[in-house]
Amino acid sequence: MSYSVNSVLSQIRSYQTQVSSAAVDAAADAPPSAALTTGLAEPATGQPSFTDTLRGALGAVNQSQHESGQLARAFEMGDPNADLAKVMVAAQHSQIAFKATVEIRNRLVQAYQDVMNMPL
């Protein structure tokens, strides 16, 4: 095996920090929430809407899971370009992305429930 366990763990940690830094960057680039008091506002020119951002994030998670599955199948079929370390890193990457997506969904549902339960 061309990678040691420590190397694989360090790659997984680097993916986790990349995902974390991407989430922080996305939160920093988000427009101010002043539009919440006036209803839905049009996004500024050149900035993607929330729907586009969410659709892109879900597409990226789907693509990551698809690529992980393909790499695992290639490894199972004996493809010399798919070693176990690559398969494990791809699987962990897609798992982290999926967990982050589920957590975001849970927080959005909780925020919706909080808003719906507010007294008028």
Give residue limits of the domains in the chain.
83-119
Which pLDDT score, from 0 to 100, does residue 39 have? 44
Of 27 and 16, more confident: 16
> What is the pLDDT of the chain when averaged over all its residues?
78
pLDDT tens, position by position, 26-79: 555 555 444 444 444 555 567 778 888 888 889 999 999 999 999 999 999 999
**Token pair recorded at residue 32:** 């101010």
- Residue 10 amino acid letter: S
- Residue 56 amino acid letter: G
Residue 107 confidence (pLDDT) above 90:
yes
89, 12 Cβ separation under 8 angstroms: yes
> Over the Cα atoms of the chain, what is R_g?
19
Contacts of 115 (CB under 8 A, 6+ apart): none
100, 23 Cβ separation under 8 angstroms: yes
| Alpha carbon 70 to chain centroid, angstroms | 19
State how far the Cα of 77 lies from the Cα of 21, in Å rounded to an integer: 35
Position 91 confidence tier, pLDDT thresholds 50, 70, 90: very high
**Prediction pTM value:** 0.56
| Alpha carbon 23 to chain centroid, angstroms | 8
**Token pair recorded at residue 82:** 């798919």
